[in-house]
Amino acid sequence: MLDKLNEIEKSALESLDAIRDQAALEAWRVANVGRSSPLMQVFAELGKLSKEERPAVGAAANRVKAKLEAALTERAEAVKAAALAKSLEEEQLDVTLPGRGIHLGRLHPSTQQLRRVLDILAEMGFQVYTSREVETDDVNFQLLNFPPDHPARDMQDTFFIEAEGRGDNPILLRTHTSPGQIHAMRDAVRAATDPDNPPPIRVALPGMCFRYEQITARSEIQFNQVEGLVVGENITFADLKGTLSDFARRMFGQNVRTRFRADYFPFTEPSAEMDVECFVCGGKGCSVCKNSGWLEILGSGMVHPIVLQNGGYDPRRYSGYAWGMGPERQLMLRYKIDDIRYFWGNDLRFLEQF
């Protein structure tokens, strides 16, 4: 029995010497000190030995077991150290190499400008009201005081979606955000506890508009607008001028000058366009303002009594003003962008500049 133990010890230590990796080490452990190894067999058979033999064999078996376990631990450490040395050598990292750039997404310049506009209007007490892009002819035109054959419709060529069987009221893509005025007023009337006393309104209506136009450097088939609508008692043209001049100062700088020029829109009376002093040349005249010193930035006016009525507001008691402006146009002026097609051209060289 003692000879057998010596033999077990000798061959186990020999085979351990040759081991170089983790898997072989584990196999060695199972074969030499595992539950069904010859060594454990000796322990199992101790009971069969005579009283005289048992203590010596037991002690020897314990000694061999301790020895093999110690040798295993030592070998495991050596294998680990060798593996580390090998990976340090083979998998060298060049920490001086530049890292891979992370491509950050960003907001589209129009979205950025829309947010600037809405942030300023929010500070001035305007709530955002969004309405649909697909409209009916009556809301996009008729209720805004454009009769079916009104010549002012020529200003806005239209994408019609469905005309069949709809008579004078085809479905179309909205050509401006102004139909939102009708929705905003009617919603307020519907929500009022007393429809004869609807609440005052102060909303900003942002969104995409569509026109069936030749795409050129100056015109696109889609663009954003931000409409404004204020309705209440005793609203005057002075409120319109004050609010829009304040907006211009907040958007383009405290010292910017503004002017209003008479204009025509079917849904406002009187109507006016607002110019800001050219912020590129400071009013001296340059290519951006075509040497006029002024840049037109919006159309506006006092809400036409017919439009108020169509919205459910009694024009004898209520008045209001409205405007429509274009964030893309503001960006073109500000950054001297000379071609509106860049906005939807998806050219990253353009978009990444914002």
Q: Note the residues at the interface with ligand DAH (CB under 6 A).
A: 176, 178, 227, 265, 268, 271, 299-301, 322-324
Residue 120: C-alpha distances to residues 117, 245, 249 (Å)? 5, 12, 10
Do residues 147 and 189 make contact, with C-beta atoms less than 8 angstroms apart?
A: no
Q: Which is nearer to ligand DAH, 28 or 323 (CB)?
A: 323
Q: How far is the CB of 207 from ligand DAH (least distance, A)?
A: 12
Q: How far is the CB of 215 from ligand DAH (least distance, A)?
A: 18
CA–CA separation, 132 and 168 (whole Å): 20
Which residues touch 70 (CB under 8 Å, ≥6 apart)?
none
**In this structure, what token pair is assigned to residue 28?**
């060695």
Q: Which is nearer to ligand DAH, 5 or 299 (CB)?
A: 299
Q: How far is the CB of 122 from ligand DAH (least distance, A)?
A: 19
CA–CA separation, 158 and 57 (whole Å): 104
Q: Which is nearer to ligand DAH, 158 or 268 (CB)?
A: 268
Longest dimension (CA), the chain: 125
Treating both helix axes as pointing N-terminal to C-terminal, what angle do 38-45 and 2-17 enclose, rounded to 10 degrees?
Answer: 160
**In this structure, what token pair is assigned to residue 88?**
């340090």
Q: Which is nearer to ligand DAH, 68 or 184 (CB)?
A: 184
| Cβ-closest position to ligand DAH | 324
Q: Which is nearer to ligand DAH, 28 or 223 (CB)?
A: 223
CA–CA separation, 79 and 86 (whole Å): 10
Distance, CA of 131 to chain centre: 20
Q: Which is nearer to ligand DAH, 15 or 309 (CB)?
A: 309
CA–CA separation, 223 and 164 (whole Å): 27
Q: How far is the CB of 94 from ligand DAH (least distance, A)?
A: 59
Q: How far is the CB of 265 from ligand DAH (least distance, A)?
A: 4
Q: Which is nearer to ligand DAH, 109 or 299 (CB)?
A: 299
CA–CA separation, 350 and 342 (whole Å): 7
Q: How far is the CB of 159 from ligand DAH (least distance, A)?
A: 15
Q: How far is the CB of 199 from ligand DAH (least distance, A)?
A: 20
Q: How far is the CB of 263 from ligand DAH (least distance, A)?
A: 8
Each residue of 252-274: b (16+ CB within 10 Å) or e?
beeebbbebeeeebbbbeebbbb
Q: Note the residue count of the chain.
A: 354
**In this structure, what token pair is assigned to residue 142?**
């008729």
Q: Which is nearer to ligand DAH, 5 or 297 (CB)?
A: 297
Which residues touch 238 (CB under 8 Å, ≥6 apart)?
none
